[in-house]
Amino acid sequence: MERKVWERLQRAWGKLVGHTAQPVNRSALSNRYYVTSAPSPQNALDIFRGEWSSKLPPPLDGCQAGHMELFQDGRITWLVSEVGDLHGRHILELGPLEGAHSYMLERAGAASIVAVESNTHAYLRCLIVKELLNMQRVRFLCGDCVEYLKSVDCPQFDIGVASGVLYHMVNPVELIALLAQRCQTHIFLWTHYYDDKWAKSKGFQKRFPVTERGHYAGFAYTLVRQYYDDETLRSLSFCGGSRPFSNWMYRGEILACLEHFGFGKIKINFDDYDHPNGPAFAVLASRR
pTM of the model: 0.87
Average pLDDT over the chain reads 90
- Beta strand ranges found along the chain (DSSP E): 90-94, 112-117, 138-142, 157-163, 183-192, 210-216, 219-227, 245-249, 265-272, 280-286
**pLDDT tens column, 173-189:** 999 999 999 999 999 99
How many Cβ atoms sit within 10 Å of the Cβ of residue 1?
5
DSSP for 181-219, please give it.
HHEEEEEEEEEE-B-HHHHHHHT-TTTS-EEEEEEETTE
Q: Which of 132, 169, 161 is nearest to 52 (CA)?
A: 132
pLDDT on residue 275: 95
Classify 132 as helix, strand or coil. helix
pLDDT on residue 2: 54
pLDDT band at 203 (very low <50, low <70, confident <90, very high): confident
Widest CA span in the chain: 81
Q: Long-range contacts: 199-208, Cβ < 8 Å, 24+? A: 208/248
Classify 268 as helix, strand or coil. strand
Q: Which of 63, 144, 131 is nearest to 103 (CA)?
A: 131
pLDDT on residue 8: 60
Query: What strands, in cross-sheet order, belong to the sheet with 138-142?
Result: 138-142, 112-117, 90-94, 157-163, 183-192, 280-286, 265-272
**pLDDT tens column, 229-281:** 766 666 656 666 667 789 999 999 999 999 999 999 999 999 999 999 999 99
Angle at 46 between CA 42 and CA 48, to 5 degrees: 140
Q: By the 8 A CB rule, do 224 and 208 touch?
A: yes
pLDDT on residue 18: 54
pLDDT on residue 15: 54
Measured CA to CA, the distance from residue 78 to residue 207 in angstroms comes to 32
**pLDDT tens column, 205-215:** 788 888 999 99
Please report, for the chain, the start and end positions of each structural domain, with discontinuous segments joined by +. Answer: 70-286
Burial class (CB in 10 A: 0-12, 13-18, 19+), 67: exposed
Backbone torsions φ then ψ of 75, nearest 5 degrees? -65, -40
| Percent over 70 (pLDDT), the chain | 85
How many Cβ atoms sit within 10 Å of the Cβ of residue 58?
7
pLDDT on residue 250: 97
pLDDT on residue 230: 64
Q: Give the relative orientation of helices 100-107 and 120-132 as an angle to the nearest 10 degrees.
A: 40
**pLDDT tens column, 107-139:** 999 999 999 999 999 999 999 999 999 999 999
The single-letter code of the amino acid at 164 is G
pLDDT on residue 26: 65
Distance of CA 148 to the CA centre of its chain: 15
**pLDDT tens column, 8-57:** 645 654 554 455 555 666 666 667 789 999 999 999 999 999 999 999 99
Backbone torsions φ then ψ of 32, nearest 5 degrees? -65, -25
pLDDT on residue 202: 86
pLDDT on residue 17: 46
pLDDT on residue 235: 65
Q: Is the link from the previous residue into 41 a cis peptide, with omega within 30 of 0?
A: no
The CATH code of the domain at 70-286 is: 3.40.50.150
